[in-house]
Structure 1
Amino acid sequence: MKGIRGRYGQQRILETDSGLSVNLLETKLLSEGTFYSFVVKYKYFIIKPLVGPQEVHISVTNDGIESLTGNQALRFSNKEQIYDYLTKRIFTKKYYVIQACPANPSTLYQCSFTLHRKSPTAHWKIVHSATEDKNSVPHYNLYNIRMLNSSVTAAKMLGTAFPDCHTIVVDIVKDGFGSFWLADTILHDRNSKWSQYHSLHQERSLRSFLPATDLCTKKTLLAFLNTYPEVIIKPCVGQQGRGIVKISLTGDLAFEVHEKQNRQVVDDFEQLFSYVHNHYLSQRDYIVQQRISLMEIDGKPCDVRVITQFDEGSWILTGQVVKVAAKDYFVSNRASKLLTLENALSRQNNEISFERCAKWIEMVCKKSSKRLLKNNGDLSIIGFDIGIDDKGAVWLIEGNYAPSLSMFYMYDNNEIHERISYYIKKNKKSD
C-alpha cells in the first residue's frame, strides 16, 4: 500500500488498525466547517500543518476562544473572528489538519519514541526515547509497554506505506490515569540527518566517531548546553549549510547565536529558546549536536570533504579535500581556500599525523558508505564531511547523497574531479 505523505494521510493509514485506532485522536483536514465543529465538540484542540512543526493551540471557554502560537496568546469573542484571524495572519502553508486534544495540554505528559529499521526488510526497533515527564513511569510498567507496542505497530504500518522511510518519530501524550494517545508521527526519510545518525549508530564500530546528537527541543537544547561549551543546531533536512546555527555560552552566562556571519547575544536560556524557536524550530525539524573543536588554519575552522563511490561491489575513496571556512564563518560550506589533507595537517602546531588521520578517514568513510547502502539501497556516491579536532581525532559529521562536486573542479589538482567523473559515468553505463 502506497501512502500519501503528511499528517492526514498517515492518520488515515493508522485508523485502519482497530487496536491502534482507540489510541488515536480525531484528526481532520482543516476547513471552516471542521473548525466550527471542533469549537462545538471540544474544549481543546490543535492545528498543525500537513508537514512541519508549527502548532496553534486552541482552547474554548464560556468567555470566548483563545489561540496560543508560540508564546503569543490571543482571545477572540467568537469562532468566526478567530478563524478569520488565523487564516489571514497565521496559516501561511497550503494545507493544515485540526486535531482534538483530550485535556488541557498543560496537564498532559509528552513523550516520543524514535524507531529505526536497519534495512527495508529489517524489524523496527525503538532506538531513542524522550519525555517531558520528570516523574515518568518505569520502562517495565505495563503502561509503558502498551505505549511501546503501539509505537512499533504504527511504525510497521507506516513503513509498509512508505517503503523508503527507515526512521519514524512517534509523539505520545498521556494523562495520569493510564490513558495515552498517539498525537503525531513524523517520517524521516534517507535525507534526514536524524535518520542518517541512527543508521550509522547501528554500526558499533562507528559510534565513537559520531558527535552526540538528539532532536532539538527545549529540554535537549538545555541538556546539551549544560554538557558542551558550544553546540550546533541544524535542520533535519538541509543542504549547503543553510539554517546551521552555533550556540555558545559566553563568559557572563549569556548565549551567543551565530549563523553565517551574523551574531546575536541573548541574556538567558529562556530568551535563547524563544529566539531559537521563533526563528528556526517553528519552521523545520532540527537536531542539536555537540560542536567539535575543529582544527584551524589562520584562525579559521576547517573540515574534510571526502567522496566515496560504489564500484564493482565495494566502496572506494575517489576524492578528498580540506575546506577552510571563510572569515567569520564557523562552517566551511563557504570556503576561503582548499588544501590537501597533508598540507592542512602540516600547518598544525601539534603535528597531527597525516598517515594516522588518512587511515582513519578512509576506514570511517568506507564503513559508513557500506552501512548507508544497506539502509538505503540505491546509493552510488556519497560526500562525507569529516572533522579533525585539535587533538587529531577524526569525527564523522554527516554524509550527503547528492554532494556538490564544484570544489573539486575548482581545485588545482584536476585529477580528482576527473576520477570522480569517471566513476559517475561508469555507474551510469552499468545501470
Structure 2
Amino acid sequence: MRVSAGKWTKHKLMLENERLASFLPDTQYLDRTSLNIMLDKYNQIMVKPCNGFQGRGIIQISSLSNEQFVLHIESSETLVHGKENIYDYLKENHFPRKRNRYIVQQRIPLATINNNPFDVRVMVQRKKDSLEWAVTGKLARLAANNFVVTNVAKAVLSVEDAIEISLINNEKVKDIVADLEEVSLLIAGQLSNSYSQKRVYGIDLGIDLEGKVWIIEANLRPAISMFKYLNDCSYETIKAFKRG
C-alpha cells in the first residue's frame, strides 16, 4: 500500500524511532482545538501544509500581550486579536478552498546570523545496489531579510562557516556537525522502512543557540542546485550517487 509523503505522515513515522523522537518539535494535526492548545503552550508556533513545498504556505504565529497575535507569512505581517479568531482567519484568508491538511508545530528557535535565521540541508543517498546510506552533502541556508523560512535564501554557505559566524558556541562545531550527520542517517534508515524505493533524502535540520539539533523536514524529492554554490565537490558527489 502506498504511504503518504505528507509532513504529518513522515512526522509520525520518525516519532516511532525513540532516538529520533528527542529531535522532533512538538507537532499536531491542525484543527481548531489543536491550534488553541499549541497557542497556549508556546509563544511561537508554525502552521504548515502537509503537502507543501519550497516553504509555500508556511505561517508563523507569535503571541503578544493582550490577546494580540502576529501572523508572519512570507515577508508580511498581520495582527489578529483574540486566540479564538485565528483559525477562522486562516481558513478564510490562507487555506485554499480545495482540501489540504495542515500541521501545527512548536517553532524551532533557529540560530541566526545578523538576526536572520538559518537552517541546514543534509543530503543522504544510497547507490542502486546498496542498502548503505551516506551523507553526500550539507549546507546552511540563510533566510532573506524579513522572512522566517529559509526557502527564500539570501545566502548559501558551509555549515561550519554558518555556525562560526552565528552566536552558537564555536567550540561545539565538530559535535554539532556529527549530530547533524547522525540524525540524517537515522532518518533515512527509519523512513526507508516505508519508502523502500527511495535512494535520496534531503533532510532539513535546525540548530538552536544551545547547539541542539532539531528535525524540520525530510524531503523525498530534494532539489540539489543550491549545492553548486559550495566549493567542496558535494554537487558532483550528489550527482554521481543519483546516477547509481
Instruction: Please classify the TM superposition score into its range, dividing by the shorter chain length.
Output: over 0.9
* Counterpart residue number, 2:108: 292
Paired residue secondary structure (1:314):
coil
Q: Which residue of 2 aligns with 1:124?
A: none
Aligned partners of 1:295, 1:289: CA distance in 2, in Å? Answer: 18
In the alignment, which residue of structure 1 is the partner of 2:20?
A: 206
Per-residue Cα deviation, 1:194-214 (whole angstroms, up to 9, x for no partner) = 110111011111100001111
| Cα separation, 2, equivalents of 1:350 and 1:379 | 34
**TM-score relative to the length of structure 1:** 0.54
Q: Distance in 2 between matches of 1:331 and 1:422?
A: 30
How far apart in 2 are the matches of 1:322 and 1:252?
37
Could you tell me whether the CA contact under 8 Å between 2:113 and 2:167 is conserved in 1?
no
Residue identity opposite 1:233 in structure 2 = V
Q: Which amino acid aligns with 1:339?
A: L
Whether the 8 Å CA contact 2:36–2:84 is kept in 1: the answer is no
The aligned counterpart of 1:354 is: 173
Q: Which 5+ residue runs of structure 2 have no aligned equivalent?
A: none
Matches within 5 A, 1:70-219: 163-165=1-3, 189=4, 191-219=5-33
Is 2:190 aligned against 1:376?
no
1:407 matched to which residue of 2? 226
- Residue 86 of structure 2 is matched in structure 1 by 272
Counterpart AA for 1:396: I
How much has 1:281 moved relative to structure 2? 4.3
Structure 1 residues 217 and 282, CA, compared in 2 at 3 Å: closer, same or farther? farther
> Which of 239, 242, 248 is the equivalent residue of 2:53?
239
- Report deviation, 1:279: 2.6
Aligned to 2:122: 306
The residue identity in structure 1 corresponding to 2:148 is F
Aligned match of 2:160:
342
Give the structure 2 partner of residue 7 of structure 1: none
The within-5 A match list for 1:375-394 is 375-394=194-213
Where 1:349 maps in the other structure, the secondary structure is coil
The residue that corresponds to 2:64 in the other structure is 250
Contact 2:68/2:81 (8 A) holds in 1? yes
User: In structure 2, what is the Cα distance between the partners aligned to 1:324 and 1:310?
Assistant: 28
Note the C-alpha offset of 1:412.
3.4
Three-state SS of the structure 2 residue aligned to 1:226 is helix
How many residue pairs get aligned? The number is 239
SS of 1:375 mapped into structure 2: coil
Structure 1 residues 176-227: Cα deviation after superposition (integer angstroms, max 9, x where no partner): xxxxxxxxxxxxx1x2111101110111111000011111111101110111
SS at match of 1:346: helix
For 1:54-107, what per-residue CA distance to the aligned partner results, in whole angstroms no more than 9, with x for missing partners? xxxxxxxxxxxxxxxxxxxxxxxxxxxxxxxxxxxxxxxxxxxxxxxxxxxxxx
SS in 1 for 2:133: strand
Equivalents in 1 of 2:37, 2:91: separation in Å? 16
Alignment-derived partner of residue 137 in structure 2:
319
Q: What is the Cα deviation at residue 248 of structure 1?
A: 0.6
CA distance in 1, matches of 2:189, 2:234: 22
The amino acid that maps onto 2:65 is G
Higher relative contact order (CA 8 A, sep 6+): 2
Misfit runs of 4+, over 2 Å: 279-283
What is the CA–CA distance in structure 2 between the aligned matches of 1:414 and 1:277, rounded to whole Å? 44
Q: Give the conservation status (yes or no) of the 8 Å contact 2:47–2:102.
A: yes
- Equivalent position SS for 1:209: coil
Give the drift of 1:262: 1.2
Does the alignment pair 1:261 with 2:99? no
Q: d(CA) in 2 for partners of 1:273 and 1:251?
A: 19
Match status 1:364 vs 2:183: yes
1-structure distance, mates of 2:234, 2:124: 12
CA distance in 2, matches of 1:320, 1:350: 18
1:398 Cα shift? 0.8
Distance 2:12 2:77 in 1: 31
5+ residue gaps, structure 1 = 1-162, 166-188, 427-431
Q: Does the CA-based 8 Å contact 2:49-2:101 persist in structure 1? A: yes
Name which of 150, 153, 157 aligns with 1:332.
150
CA distance in 2, matches of 1:377, 1:350: 37
Distance in structure 1 (CA, Å) of the matches to 2:158 and 2:33: 40
In 2: Cα distance, 1:377 partner to 1:279 partner = 38
Q: Deviations over 1:124-176 (max 9, x none)?
A: xxxxxxxxxxxxxxxxxxxxxxxxxxxxxxxxxxxxxxx113xxxxxxxxxxx
Which residue of structure 2 lines up, in the alignment, with residue 429 of structure 1? none
Match of 2:241 in 1: 423
8 Å contact 2:112–2:167 — kept in the other structure? no
Q: CA RMSD in A?
A: 1.2
Q: Distance in 2 between matches of 1:334 and 1:300?
A: 11
Deviation at 1:406, TM superposition (A): 1.4
